[in-house]
């Protein structure tokens, strides 16, 4: 672990490209954000300290404050960063497929890979925030539901049927809750490969989704 004043860890994929003391501000800021996200995920908001963050980044604590502000503002930036990464990951994976069932599978596998990252974005989103009861997962849940609503609308539209908006939103929220619950379970059962788990759960859910959409194979 670096301490302030020591050379930057050359194993860092970005910062290590620059001599110590000559790292561009934007590059150093992104490094601190990456380290902070891991630290908050590992120790929670209350357990993480700016001293340890500065030590891990190999800079002084005043440099950390200058780059990212207060601990609370830093935490909120990390949460926003993790939520955005999750949304982009799931959307990008799902939209690579045109077939509705394959789209659902691709998005779910991407989500579980996000969950599997040690001390990563999912662990961060489960931590308690600066205020009691302010777990960021509550806000991210709404964000993910909005994403799933759009994907569900496209999926149902691919069946050639129209549903009331409330039915689409209800279906999307039900799917979001199901996959979130699956993620909690899977964290303690990592011996099950994510692809196998998603294949099984998709086989369970997808016929019901088609039925709810009013789809009929003979229509």
DSSP state of 191: T
Q: How far is residue 75 CA from its own chain's centroid?
A: 15
Q: What is the pLDDT of residue 15?
A: 62
Q: Could you give the domains of the chain?
A: 15-72 (1.10.10.60), 79-212 (1.10.357)
Q: What is the pLDDT of residue 207?
A: 82
Q: What is the pLDDT along the chain (219 residues), one digit of tens a residue?
A: 333 333 344 334 466 556 566 788 888 999 999 999 999 999 999 999 999 999 999 999 999 999 999 999 999 999 989 988 998 998 899 889 888 778 888 989 999 999 998 888 999 888 888 877 677 777 777 777 888 888 788 777 777 778 888 988 888 888 888 888 899 899 889 899 999 999 998 888 878 777 876 664 444
Q: What is the pLDDT of residue 218?
A: 42
Q: Identify whether the C-beta of residue 30 lies closer than 8 Å to the C-beta of residue 14.
A: yes
Cα separation of the two ends of the chain: 63
- The predicted model scores a pTM of 0.78
**DSSP letter string over 46-115?**
HH--HHHHHHHHTS-HHHHHHHH-SHHHHHHHHHHHHHHHHHHHHHHHHTT--SHHHHHHHHHHHHHHHH
Q: What is the pLDDT of residue 65?
A: 96
């Amino acid at each position: 672990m670096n301490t302030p004043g020591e050379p930057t860890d050359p194993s860092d994929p970005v910062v290590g490209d620059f001599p110590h003391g000559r790292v561009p501000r934007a590059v150093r800021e992104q490094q601190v954000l990456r380290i902070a996200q891991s630290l908050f995920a590992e120790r929670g908001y209350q357990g993480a300290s700016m001293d340890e963050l500065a030590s891990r980044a190999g800079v002084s604590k005043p440099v950390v404050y200058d780059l990212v502000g207060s601990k609370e503002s830093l935490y909120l930036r990390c949460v926003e960063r993790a939520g955005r990464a999750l949304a982009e990951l799931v959307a990008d994976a799902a939209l690579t497929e045109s077939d509705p069932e394959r789209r659902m599978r691709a998005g779910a596998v991407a989500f579980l890979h996000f969950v599997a990252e040690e001390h990563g974005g999912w662990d961060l989103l489960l931590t308690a925030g600066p205020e009691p009861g302010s777990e960021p997962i509550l806000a991210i849940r709404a964000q993910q539901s909005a994403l799933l609503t759009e994907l569900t609308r496209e999926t149902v539209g691919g069946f050639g049927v129209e549903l009331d908006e409330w039915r689409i939103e209800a279906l999307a929220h039900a799917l979001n809750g199901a996959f979130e619950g699956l993620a909690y379970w899977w964290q303690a059962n990592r011996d099950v490969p994510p692809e196998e788990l998603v294949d099984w759960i998709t086989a369970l859910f997808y016929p019901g989704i088609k039925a709810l959409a009013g789809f009929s194979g003979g229509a």
